[in-house]
Amino acid sequence: MKPSTLVTHPPHVTVPDDNRALVAPIYQSVKFTFDSVDETERLSHGEREGFWYSRKSNPTLRQLELTLAGLQGREACLLTASGAAAVNLSMLALCKQGDHVICFAEMYQPTRNMILRVLERYGVRHTLLSIDDVDGIERTLAGTPTRLVVFESPSNPVLKVADVSRITAIAKKHGALTLLDNTLAGIHNHGQFDVDVFVHSLTKYISGHGDVLGGAVIANREIIDALRADMAIFGASLDPHAAFLIQRGLKTYFLRYERQCQNAMALAEYLVSRPEVLELRYPGLKSHAQHELTLAQQHDFGSMITFDLQGGPEAARRFAEALSLFSISASLGSTESLVLPPQLLQPRDFDPQQIAWSAITDSTVRLSVGIEDSQDLVMDIEQALAASAACRIKGQ
C-alpha cells in the first residue's frame, strides 16, 4: 500500500470482546459501512440494528439518548444541536396546517416566537394564555380542537410553577398532546406525570459546564419513531463530540444540582431578609405562592432566584455590574453563578395584559446560582446591594 493510500486507509484496530474501554469512545465518524449490500439494505428496512449516517444516528449519540430517556422515565430520545432546536423542531414535526396550539406568556421567548411568528405563517393557529389560568386552558380546549399544549415549569424567569398533573389531564381529556420544556426543573423531575413530550436544553444543567450546546426530545417510542424521519430531514443533529461532552457532564449532574439547590436556598433565605429586595421568587421558600405545589411535583426547588430590586432599572443595573462572582450572561445551570438585570429580561413584544402575566418588571433581576461556596456568594450579593443602594441614594 502506497503512503498516499495508507493515510486514507489506516490499519483497523479491533478491541477484544473481553477488553472494553471503561469510557465509551467518541465515534467521530459521519459514515458507517457494512461488508455487504444485503446487510446495508436490511438496516434501511429496519430489519437490523446498526448505523449508516450520523445525521440520523451515531453510537455516541445513541448512548446519550438511552441515558437521557432512562433518567426522564421514558422509552426513547432524539438529540438536536441545541435546546431551541429540540422544542422548535418537535412542534414543526407534530403540527400541520390548520392545527391549533395553546402556549403561554410565561415561556422561553424563542419558543413563543416560533409559535406566534413561524408556525402562524404556515397556518398553525394559537391561543396565548397565562400558565396561572388553568380554567382558561380547559375552556380553550373545550371550545377549540387543539393539537398541542406547549408549556414550561418552572417558568423562566419568574419561576411560576405549572400544575402539571391538572394540565396534562385536561389536555388528554380533550385529545391534545402536551409538550413540556423541562429544562429548569431538570431531567430527574416530572417523569411521573402523563406528559407526552419532554424537551430539554442540554446546554444547561445536563452538560453543566457552559461549554457545549445540545437539545433533547424525550417521549415514548411511538412518538419518537414518528418524529425521527422528520428530525433527520431538518438536519439539526448533535455532533458526536458534543454528545460525548454532555455524557461526561452527566456524571456530576446530581452532585451539581444538589449543591446548586442548597446554594440557592441559602441565598433566597438571605435575600428575603433584605429591605432592598421586593417580590422574591424562589419555590423553596414557604412564602412562595406555589411552594406546596412544587413540593408535591418536584424532588427539589432548582437553582434560579428572581426578585425585584428597589430603585428601579438603574439600581438593578448597578447591582449586576457590582457583582464579582456572578457574571452578566445568558443561560443557566452551569457551575458558575450568573445574573441578568431587567434590561436583559424585558419582553419587547408584549401588550400590557401579557406583561402583567409575565410578572417581569423594570426592576426584575434573575440569578442562576452555581456551585461556589454559599458564603462567598452571600458576601458578593451583600456588597452589590450596598452599591445599588448608593446608586439609589445618589439618584434621589
CA–CA separation, 338 vs 325, rounded Å? 8
CA–CA separation, 51 vs 62, rounded Å? 10
Tell me what pLDDT residue 261 has. 98
Tell me what pLDDT residue 50 has. 95
pLDDT (tens digit per residue) in 145-160? 999 999 999 999 999 9
C-alpha 185: how far from chain center: 8
Q: Any idea which of 189-193, 319-323, 385-389 has the lowest mean pLDDT?
A: 385-389
Tell me what pLDDT residue 359 has. 85
Tell me what pLDDT residue 101 has. 98
pTM of the model: 0.94
Q: What is the mean pLDDT of residues 188-208?
A: 98
Tell me what pLDDT residue 338 has. 98
Name the region of 244 (left: φ>0; alpha: ψ -120 to 50; beta: rest).
alpha
Contact yes or no for 66/79 (Cβ under 8 A): no
Q: What is the mean pLDDT of residues 114-131?
A: 96
CA–CA separation, 389 vs 288, rounded Å? 25
Beta bridge partners of 222: none
Q: Is the pLDDT of residue 256 over 50?
A: yes
Q: What is the mean pLDDT of residues 289-297?
A: 96
Give 67-127 as a DSSP string: HHHHHHT-SEEEEESSHHHHHHHHHHHH--TT-EEEEESSS-HHHHHIIIIIIHHTT-EEE
Tell me what pLDDT residue 240 has. 96
* DSSP symbol at 11: P
C-alpha 305: how far from chain center: 16
The identity of residue 288, as a single letter, is H
Pairing of strands 177-181, 148-152: parallel
Contact yes or no for 207/79 (Cβ under 8 A): no
Tell me what pLDDT residue 396 has. 46
In the chain, the domains with their CATH numbers are 54-250 (3.40.640.10), 254-395 (3.90.1150.10)
**Residue 113, CA atoms < 13 Å, CB-side half-sphere:** 7
Q: What is the mean pLDDT of residues 45-68?
A: 94
Residue the block writes with cell 402562524? 120
Tell me what pLDDT residue 255 has. 97
Q: What is the mean pLDDT of residues 98-104?
A: 98
Residue 56: name the closest of 299, 230, 244 by CA. 230
What is the overall mean pLDDT for the chain? 94
Residue the block writes with cell 406583561? 355
CA–CA separation, 57 vs 81, rounded Å? 13
* pLDDT-based confidence at residue 250 (cuts at 50, 70, 90): very high
* pLDDT-based confidence at residue 175 (cuts at 50, 70, 90): very high
pLDDT (tens digit per residue) in 159-169? 999 999 999 99
Residue 177: all three cell numbers together: 398532546
Q: Is the pLDDT of residue 391 over 80?
A: no
Q: Is the pLDDT of residue 5 over 90?
A: no
* DSSP symbol at 154: S
Tell me what pLDDT residue 393 has. 56
CA–CA separation, 180 vs 199, rounded Å? 6
Please report the sign of the dihedral spanned by the C-alpha atoms of residue 240, residue 245, residue 246, residue 252. positive
Q: What is the mean pLDDT of residues 14-35?
A: 92
What percent of the chain clears pLDDT 70, i.e. is strictly above it? 98
Contact yes or no for 108/116 (Cβ under 8 A): no
Tell me what pLDDT residue 43 has. 94
Residues 20, 244, 190, 285, Cα dihedral to 10° = 120
pLDDT (tens digit per residue) in 129-143? 999 999 999 999 999
Tell me what pLDDT residue 82 has. 97
Contact yes or no for 227/148 (Cβ under 8 A): no
Tell me what pLDDT residue 200 has. 98
Q: Which residues lie closer than 8 Å to 195 by C-beta, 6 or more apart?
A: 164, 168, 178, 179, 180, 182
Tell me what pLDDT residue 392 has. 61
Q: Give, to the nearest 10 degrees, the angle between helix 134-143 and helix 164-173.
A: 10
Tell me what pLDDT residue 3 has. 83
Q: What is the mean pLDDT of residues 361-380?
A: 97
